[in-house]
Amino acid sequence: MKLFSYTLFLLHYDGIKERGGSIHAYSKDLRNKYGKSFADGYKEVVEINQAALFSGRETSTEDHQLMISFKDLTLKKVITSRSIFQRIKMKLWEFIY
């Protein structure tokens, strides 16, 4: 759940507007900004997160690794879209990563 929250924070930091209600509402914005494969990965991560929240059972190792990979991909997209000075600010002043 914490991995998903951090990933969502990164998306907001990168300019994806916060939406009320369902977290599925981000899919269209993600597709426009990052592409179809990223939006499809987001949908998969949302399903894993919802299963972790509402099923009452532990997340599998495979699902946990998928969440980590998606978080890393999101962080990479956010970092590479910034200049060197913005990256320094993100790391040293804003503690983004």
What's the pLDDT tens digit per position in 14-54? 999 988 878 888 999 999 999 999 999 999 999 999 999 99
Report d(CA 2, CA 51) in Å as an integer: 14
Q: Give the pLDDT band of residue 8 (cuts 50, 70, 90).
A: very high
H/E run at residue 57:
none
pLDDT of 41? 96
- Tokens standing for residue 94: 């804003």
pTM of the entire structure? 0.87
Q: Concatenate the DSSP letters of all residues of 61-83 into one string.
A: HHHHHHHHHHHHHHHHHHHHTS-
The token pair that represents 59 in the structure block: 């997340």
- Does residue 1 contact residue 53 with C-beta atoms inside 8 Å? yes
Q: How far is C-alpha 29 from the geometric centre of its chain's CA atoms? A: 13
pLDDT at 58: 87
Domain boundaries, the chain: 2-92
Contact 11, 33 (CB under 8 A): no
- pLDDT tens per residue across span 52-95: 999 888 889 999 999 999 999 999 999 999 999 999 999 999 98
For residue 1, pLDDT beyond 90: no
Q: What is the CA radius of gyration of the chain?
A: 14
